[in-house]
Amino acid sequence: MQGDLQRIVDAVAAHAGRPALIEDRRQRVVVYSEQTGLMDEVRRASILRRQTTPEVIAWLREFGIADAHAPVRTPARPDLDLLPRLCVPVRHHDLLLGFVWFIDPDGTMTDVDLAATGLLKELSLALYRENLLGELAAQRETEAARTLLADSPETREQAVRALLEAGMIAGDGPTTVLVARLVAAEARQPDERARIALEQSLVAARRRAGVREALHLLRHDHGVLLLPAEPAAGRPTPEVAARHLDDDLRQVTRALAAVERTVVGVGRTRPRLVDAVDSYVEALHAARVGARLPALGRVVSWSGLGVYRALARLGEHDLDVADVHPGLARLLGGTGNQALLTTLERYLDLAGNAHATAAELRLHRTTLYYRLQRIEELAGTDLKDGGERLCLHLALKLARLTGRHRAEE
């Protein structure tokens, strides 16, 4: 199939008298002719990465290429290093299958009549066949990946067997799961461009690990990457893969106003693919905690969450701050208590060391003791009681996790 497409794109380029590049309907590079003459950074990056950035996709789609039935001219975008182009949509019985792209820097290229040569029909049939086969394979893989994250061990075993028999994965061994989340900017929701960016980053991470070594899945509010954890030549460790995924996510989302930041959660390694669901749950919790608490960083591992491991699990059962310590709930509900909450958290983080707390907060010791006394009065607690300190500390961390407490970092 790839040989047919290469022959067609070479014939298209010869007919047009300039290099051509073919993308599928999601604007992922399928095949391209020999690239001679003037080339911009967008074309160069597309060939190297086999994909176009969400920002470029959004710009080009503003000119109606997804709805077009005839060639469309798109203007330059100097800030993106994007030259003018001629886009020829490829359809099969009105179904959009992809695009043929020509760089047209001086705007002198006449509309290419590929239909008259029969090349457009040949291309549409070739893309239709590839699209059909690709979609069927992708659906099988996606369904198997979903099943791997299900609860039933029997269904997970069946999914692993299906993946191995179909040759979609090379083997069943130690597996680590990463979860990538896009944290929405205030009053916004990640849009389709953000979803495209997330999938592109997952695909890039999968290529680095080996396409038949890893699996990825896009869920409604996060992306999942199942990685082999055994050392192998040229394969990044899960920790390195997480950092690379984070780098990719930041790069492809930096121009997206709907995305404030990104976070990657890392679960612990499990001995077999069938047990990856446990790593997934950990990675999901780590990513959710990281989304709530930026101070933890952009890559957050389950093993490094400390007390938040327990609180993340408790949060599954809708545990409220008042269930842990009613007095803290009253303190959180009062107005003007931010300084008291910050003081209490630092005091508890430092194991009740008044000298260290005063030094870190740059408070006079008398001011610190006054604040601690006010906390005891308002929360109805005794900070000399170890049990009370434990409950207060847990309740404060739970309040952070649920967004009720946003004291200064």
pLDDT tens track for 69-119:
988 999 999 998 999 999 999 988 788 889 999 999 887 776 566 666 678
Average pLDDT over residues 259-280: 92
Q: Which has more pLDDT, 209 or 335?
A: 209
- Rounded Cα–Cα distance for residues 360 and 255 (Å): 37
User: Would you say residue 406 has pLDDT above 70?
Assistant: no
- Rounded Cα–Cα distance for residues 218 and 223 (Å): 5
Do residues 174 and 270 touch, judged by C-beta distance below 8 A?
A: yes
pLDDT tens track for 379-394:
889 999 888 898 889 8
312 falls in which pLDDT band (50, 70, 90)? confident
Task: Please count the other Cβ atoms lying within 10 Å of the Cβ belonging to residue 272.
Answer: 13
- Rounded Cα–Cα distance for residues 21 and 99 (Å): 8
- Rounded Cα–Cα distance for residues 313 and 331 (Å): 24
pLDDT at residue number 221:
83
Q: List all residues 6 or more positions away from 262 whose beta carbon is below 8 Å from its beta carbon.
A: 180, 181, 182, 183, 246, 249, 250, 253, 298
Encode 84-139 in three state secondary structure: CEEEEEEEECCEEEEEEEEECCCCCCCCCCHHHHCHHHHHHHHHHHHHHHHHHHHH
pLDDT tens track for 193-247:
788 788 888 888 888 888 788 888 888 889 999 998 877 767 888 899 999 999 9
362 falls in which pLDDT band (50, 70, 90)? very high
Type of residue numbered 117: T
- Rounded Cα–Cα distance for residues 163 and 140 (Å): 9
Question: In percent, how much of the chain has pLDDT > 90?
Answer: 32
Report which DSSP code applies to 404: S
